[in-house]
Amino acid sequence: MTTLFDRMPVTVSDELRLKVLRSNILPFYQERLGLVEIKSPYELIKLCRRLEATKESVKSYKPPVKGNLFLEPDLECGTGQSETVKVREITVNNAGPQLCFRCNKPGHYARVCRVRTRLRCFTCGMDNVTKITCPKCNVRNSGNSSGSQP
């Protein structure tokens, strides 16, 4: 349409061109550009091209295929519907099921454990302390708690 405007014997202002272009573009573009301030016909064309590229990208989107070989099933892509995640039991060196670090129950890792209030030293497993505050694992804390200085 801009070429047709250029061929006219009378000069058409950018304001009139923009008004005609906006009223004749597809409703898809009118709807999305209704609240956008556009100052020139070329800016309108640029925005419409971006919208068209986005529309094509959305149209060609295919959700990832779910497989059964993922290491962490809770990180697997969902279908958009609410699903219950089945957690596989974890075993280490055929020594039986791996225990959760937080609740001492088998079948899941601490990062998916629902028990969030229990403190435990990551190194030695002492209850009610963290690795930083553990008297066994942190040399500075064990030295200060006994009263002797290094």
- What's the predicted TM-score (pTM) here? 0.40
109 contacts 89 by C-beta, under 8 angstroms: no
Side chain identity, residue 37: E
DSSP conformation class of 75: G
What token pair was written down for 75?
């990180």
The mean pLDDT of the chain is 75
**Selection from 68, 83, 66, 75 nearest residue 109 by Cα:** 75
What token pair was written down for 1?
């349409």
Domain extents in the chain? 2-59, 87-117, 119-150
Q: Dihedral angle at the C-alpha atoms of 109, 110, 115, 118, nearest 10 degrees? A: 140
- Count of Cβ atoms closer than 10 Å to residue 90 Cβ: 13
**3-class state of residue 97 by DSSP:** strand
pLDDT tens per residue, range 3-29: 888 888 998 888 898 888 888 888 888
**Selection from 136, 115, 118, 135 nearest residue 127 by Cα:** 118
**Selection from 53, 90, 59 nearest residue 74 by Cα:** 90
> pLDDT value at position 68?
62
pLDDT tens per residue, range 82-101: 555 555 555 555 555 677 76
pLDDT tens per residue, range 28-67: 888 888 888 888 888 988 999 999 999 999 899 887 766 6
- Count of Cβ atoms closer than 10 Å to residue 17 Cβ: 19
